[in-house]
Amino acid sequence: MAFELPALPYAANALEPHIDTRTMEIHHGKHHAGYTNNLNAAIAGTDLEGKSIEDILKGMDMNNGALRNNGGGYYNHCLFWEVMSPNGGGAPSGALASAINDAYGSFDAFKEAFAKAAATRFGSGWAWLCVHAGGKVEVCSSANQDNPMMPGIGCGGTPVLGLDVWEHAYYLNYQNRRPDYISAFWNVVNWDEVSRRFEANK
Ligand code: MN
């Protein structure tokens, strides 16, 4: 079974004005599609065919550049679309809110730590909120299409929220103003989905 590009869970213009339509169209229809096709090419004829993407990431041969870049790119973007929503924003509740408060003291302090991870990731990469076994949450970042589930990457937890800070994610609308894109992201975070991922992986 080959991996398939998932449909966006909302229209390409649904996250306006925070993320513009053209960026969403190119990001999903070209970049994510490319990672998907190249992942399928990288696993074709190998014993990875039929494995879940999570198992492929956890067992990643970090010297296999095509698999590392495209397996990460496939998974990371699948997560990214789902943790955003036109009805997003606000703040988490319940057990996730408690875990964030335990780790960072307050929701605002967490946002500051996450924004710093996103802003200081030099070049291309991702900022993450991850959960560790036992329920502790932690912010980290990773380069390129790496993911904390890969051996030796980031904080080693399971991502529950991710922000793409590649220039292809924001340059059309924000040009070099990555901090403005990071600030806008909070308006579209789908905390229900982040909580679902937290509960499933804690
Ligand atoms: Mn991207």
Residue spans per domain, the chain: 20-202
Cβ(9)–Cβ(59) below 8 Å: no
Ligand 1 centroid–CA 127 distance in Å is 12
Query: Nearest Cα to 76, choosing from 120, 116, 25, 130?
Result: 130
- pLDDT over 90 at 1, yes or no: no
> pLDDT at position 167, please?
98
105, pLDDT greater than 90:
yes
Dist. CA 71 → ligand 1 center (Å): 13
- Going by C-beta distance under 8 Å and a sequence separation of 6 or more, which residues neighbour residue 178? 118, 119, 165, 170
For the cut 70, the answer to whether the pLDDT of residue 184 exceeds it is yes
Structure-token match 């010297």, residue found: 63
Residue 20 has pLDDT above 80, yes or no: yes
Count of C-beta atoms within a 10 Å radius of residue 33: 15
Render pLDDT for 45-96 as a digit per residue (tens, 0 to 9). Answer: 999 999 999 999 999 999 999 999 999 999 999 999 999 999 999 999 999 9
Supply the pLDDT for residue 59.
98
Q: Give the class (CATH, top level) of 20-202.
A: alpha beta
pLDDT of residue 109 exceeding 80 = yes
* CA 49 to centroid of ligand 1, rounded, Å: 24
Q: State in Å: Cα 170 to ligand 1 middle.
A: 9
Distance 4 CA to ligand 1 centre (A): 16
- 159-182: average pLDDT: 98
- pLDDT category at 168 given cuts 50, 70, 90 is very high
**Does residue 120 register a pLDDT over 80?**
yes
Ion ligand 1 — residues with CB < 5 Å: 164, 166, 169
Q: Cα–Cα distance between 87 and 190 in angstroms, integer?
A: 7
- Please tell me the distance from the alpha carbon of residue 18 to that of residue 155, in angstroms, as a whole number: 28
Q: What is the pLDDT of residue 141?
A: 98
